[in-house]
Structure 1
Amino acid sequence: MFKSLFKKSDKSITLLAPLTGKVVPLEEVPDQVFSQKMMGDGVAIIPSNSTVYSPFDGEIVNVFQTKHAITLRSNEGVEILIHMGLDTVNLKGDGFDIKVSDGEKITKGSLLANFDLTKVKEAGYEVITPIILLNGDTYEINQQSLSNMVNGGNDILMEITKK
Structure 2
Amino acid sequence: MFKNLFKRNKEEKTSSSNHYIQPLEGKLLSIADVPDPVFSQKMMGDGIAVDPSNGVLVAPADGQIMNVFPTKHALSMTDNNGREILIHVGLDTVALKGEGFTTFVKDGDKVKQGQKLMEIDFDEIKSKVPSIITPMVFTNLGENEKVVVEGNEIKIG
Q: Please report the TM-score for the alignment, with normalisation by the length of structure 2.
A: 0.84
Confirm whether residue 160 of structure 1 aligns to residue 156 of structure 2: yes
Q: Paired residue for 2:92, among 74, 87, 92?
A: 87
User: Structure 2 stretches of 5 or more lacking a match?
Assistant: 1-8
Confirm whether residue 124 of structure 1 aligns to residue 129 of structure 2: yes
How has the CA–CA distance of structure 1 residues 144 and 43 changed in structure 2, closer, same or farther, with 3 Å as cutoff? same
Alignment of 1:1-150 (within 5 A): 11=12, 13-137=18-142, 140-141=145-146, 143-144=148-149, 146-147=151-152
Higher relative contact order (CA 8 A, sep 6+): 1
User: Structure 1 stretches of 5 or more lacking a match?
Assistant: 1-8, 148-156
Root mean square deviation, CA, Å: 2.0
1:119 Cα offset (Å): 1.6
Q: Distance in 2 between matches of 1:145 and 1:114?
A: 28
1:24 Cα offset (Å): 1.1
How has the CA–CA distance of structure 1 residues 62 and 145 changed in structure 2, closer, same or farther, with 3 Å as cutoff? farther
* SS, match of residue 43 in structure 2: coil
Q: Distance in 1 between matches of 2:141 and 2:78?
A: 13
Q: How many residues are aligned here? A: 144
How has the CA–CA distance of structure 1 residues 123 and 109 changed in structure 2, closer, same or farther, with 3 Å as cutoff? same
Which range is displaced more, 60-69 or 122-131? Answer: 122-131
